[in-house]
Structure 1
Amino acid sequence: MTKMAHELGPVVKTIRLAEETTQVKLYQGLLSRRQAIRFESGETDIKAESFLTVLERLDMSYDEFLYRWRKQTGQTKTVTRQADILNTVREKLAAWTDADMTPGEVRAIQAFALHRSFFTVSEIETLMTIQVRLPADARNRINDKLARVLAEMADMPAVKRLRYRLFSNQAIMQLLDGNAQEGKKYLDQAQQFASERDADRLFYLENTMLIIALTADSITQAYRATEPFIQHLRGLGLPVEADAWVDNRRHALASAGKHPVWTPGELGAVARLFEVVPWQFKQDQAAYLREFPGLTDALAQGEKPLRAYRDVY
């Protein structure tokens, strides 16, 4: 550690500046101001336990720091102060997945993601969570930026899984927007980084079936071609996944302008899904139902409440 310290100090400084963290905050209780300056200039040593505390305050694992050190990134600082807003939005979405972001938050997240030259793995993970809630244009631009960043980090531990998640998220978002061609492109990219996990195999199958539905010649053919898959999910003992996929199919087809009316089976899927959504949504059922285009009209035409479709498949 002593030998490496003279090389690690300047890298710590690079990361500290990128994170807009002061020396006082980073080294409090560890180093004096003079010691911190000398450490960051590569003139002095730092104890191993103090260095690990520094990494913890930077929200960075030792493996990630070692990777940065080996690559000699030399990238320094961001041009704005959006990091605090990034954390605010992360906490908001952690408390409630469908919480709304303010226009200012959306602009700040876009600026943070598109103008920043340095990201920690933690920041990449946060952006991957948040970007799916952004407008399509911003989401696509951020996705492309993160794809380039992760490609540059390809030999770092755990990055392969991050690349899978990035392309998987983009695939499902494109499909839900009704874009079969773009969805397939990202799904194929995700497959390059997929594992042998059952969840990865199921994700590929679910989204392949969405592509089949979107590219069918008619709505009737879309339903006929995908109904066996829905029954397959139920046969596997995955009723919630089956209902969620039914609603994803409805969403994708509606986005593509190929969903003229709600079917009884789609109403049934939403009725069952409503029973398992977080309690926050149940406080105002009318507001929740308005999130599904055409659903309120479909219920009015059927002259029955949503719960009446609970056992309709």
Structure 2
Amino acid sequence: MEIINTIGETLKNIRLSLGLTQSQVCNNIMSQSNYSKVEKGEIDISFSKMVELLSRLDMSVDEFMYIKNDYKKHTHSQISKLRNLRFNDTELITKYKNKLEQKENLTTRELEIVTIYDALILIGEKNAFKAAKEKIKPIWERLEKHDNWYLYDIQIINNIIYLFPVDTAVSIGQLAVNQLEKYKELRGVNNLSISIQMNLLLLLIENGRYEAALDEVDRLIPSCISKNLTMHLAVCYVRKGLLMELLSQTGSEEWYDNGYKLLEIMQNDKLKKELQKEVSQYKKEKHQQ
């Protein structure tokens, strides 16, 4: 049975475990009498006051929500799963979708995530880009009305960017990366920025924009190195080798070898096979032209 404590109960449990009085926690933030009512669930608390209280307890909002949810991942962990999904990993996407659909009374955001899972499955299993685009149309109509995107919105964009014409996708992707700047102090945001650029790289390759893709991968490689994103770096090495070969440039084998060796060190045989299949597919298409 899932146990979800109230905010007040969780605050009280944390306070008592730290050996603090109510006055020590709420001093100069709110009155002790009002704080007592918060712990009892008699009154609500504003977000700004909540952040101040958590700062006093030396605790992040994420950690608090994790404790509140009985030391289980909170709902937003479903959103974080969108970060590293690949549309060809339909087995994992289906697993996430089925697990989420087991919940009762899905929120609006969770319903959007289910829709995105459906769209990614359509692409991965049937290559049905047109049907997938129709699926996510209401989500994009919501997003394009706003100039300011939140982190959740940007994670969504990262997963639907394949469904736009390449020039539109590049513009949207660049805008999303720029908007991530305001979140740069948050953990994991750098990975999301790289993920968006990796998706744009693949989109450029799929549309035959090999020179633009090579420029993109040359920008990505130093970023992956500086951020210690070894798996992303391995993918970049392999795709750089592919692009050099597609452009009839010499030296592609060295980049292939570097990428595959990194994946062997990480024992990521699955991704290595996926990339080998990807390389073989693009080379075959090139020879058929």
| Alignment of structure 1 residues 7-86 onto 2, 5 Å | 31=41, 35-36=43-44, 39=46, 52=65, 53=68, 59=76, 83=109, 86=112
- Cα pair distance change 1:139/1:239, threshold 3 Å: closer
Structure 1 window deviating more from structure 2 (157-166 vs 182-191): it is 182-191
- The alpha-carbon deviation at position 180 of structure 1 amounts to 2.0
Aligned length: 205
Query: How far apart in 1 are the matches of 2:161 and 2:27?
Result: 37
Aligned to 2:276: 242
Of residues 119, 139, 164, the one that matches 2:150 is: 119
Query: How far apart in 1 are the matches of 2:48 and 2:273?
Result: 59
Query: How far apart in 1 are the matches of 2:253 and 2:207?
Result: 21
2:190 maps to 1:160: yes
Aligned to 1:88: 114
Query: How far apart in 2 are the matches of 1:230 and 1:173?
Result: 20
- The alpha-carbon deviation at position 148 of structure 1 amounts to 1.0
Query: How far apart in 2 are the matches of 1:143 and 1:185?
Result: 16
Query: How far apart in 2 are the matches of 1:89 and 1:46?
Result: 37
Query: How far apart in 2 are the matches of 1:137 and 1:106?
Result: 19
- The alpha-carbon deviation at position 164 of structure 1 amounts to 1.6
- The alpha-carbon deviation at position 143 of structure 1 amounts to 0.7
Bigger Rg, structure 1 or 2: 1
- Cα pair distance change 1:58/1:175, threshold 3 Å: same
Query: How far apart in 1 are the matches of 2:186 and 2:122?
Result: 32
| Alignment of structure 1 residues 136-285 onto 2, 5 Å | 136-195=166-225, 196=228, 198-216=230-248, 238=272, 241-251=275-285, 253=286, 259-260=288-289
Query: How far apart in 1 are the matches of 2:178 and 2:255?
Result: 35
Query: How far apart in 2 are the matches of 1:5 and 1:188?
Result: 52
Contact 1:110–1:138 under 8 Å retained in 2: no
Contact 1:167–1:190 under 8 Å retained in 2: yes
- Cα pair distance change 1:239/1:186, threshold 3 Å: closer
Query: How far apart in 1 are the matches of 2:120 and 2:245?
Result: 32
Query: How far apart in 1 are the matches of 2:193 and 2:27?
Result: 31
Contact 1:85–1:108 under 8 Å retained in 2: no
Unaligned runs of 5+ in 1: 8-29, 62-80, 217-221, 261-313
Aligned to 2:82: none
Unaligned runs of 5+ in 2: 1-10, 12-24, 31-39, 79-106
- Cα pair distance change 1:193/1:40, threshold 3 Å: same
- For residues 179-213 of structure 1, what are the alpha-carbon distances to aligned partners after superposition, in whole Å with 9 as ceiling and x for unaligned? 12321232233224204454333222212123213
RMSD: 4.7
- Cα pair distance change 1:184/1:57, threshold 3 Å: same
2:165 maps to 1:135: yes
Aligned to 2:93: none
- The alpha-carbon deviation at position 171 of structure 1 amounts to 1.2
- Cα pair distance change 1:207/1:124, threshold 3 Å: same
